[in-house]
Amino acid sequence: MKPYTWEKQPDAKRTLEFDVSKSLASGDSISLVSVAIYHESTDLSSSMIDGSPIIDGDKFYVTLYGGTDGETYWLKLTITTANGDIIPDDLKVIVKERGK
């Protein structure tokens, strides 16, 4: 999945699209997606992830909001497929106020 780093402003609320078609075996599909976002070892999912991931074919969507200017977070993604494959991945989320 790409990109591996994403930058957002503290007040932005954005829905990210993840295309996992190249990670799936032929004929396999996404069964479950779990996401969590961390700052260091603190789970901030309840204050930075809006709702649950939405699966649509070989893609899924996650909505992020908030964060503190100048901080870096890690979005941990785990995809479970219909064939039983488990595909973990991470996205580095940098929060930066523009114009500072």
Side chain identity, residue 65: Y
The answer to pTM > 0.75 is: yes
Domains of the chain plus CATH, in order, are 5-95 (2.60.40.1220)
Q: From first to last of the 100 residues of the chain, give the pLDDT tens digit.
A: 556 899 999 999 999 999 999 999 999 999 999 999 999 999 999 999 999 999 999 999 999 999 999 999 999 999 999 999 999 999 999 999 987 6
Nearest to 61 by CA among 2, 7, 20, 16: 16
Query: 18 burial class (0-12, 13-18, 19+ CB within 10 angstroms)?
Result: buried
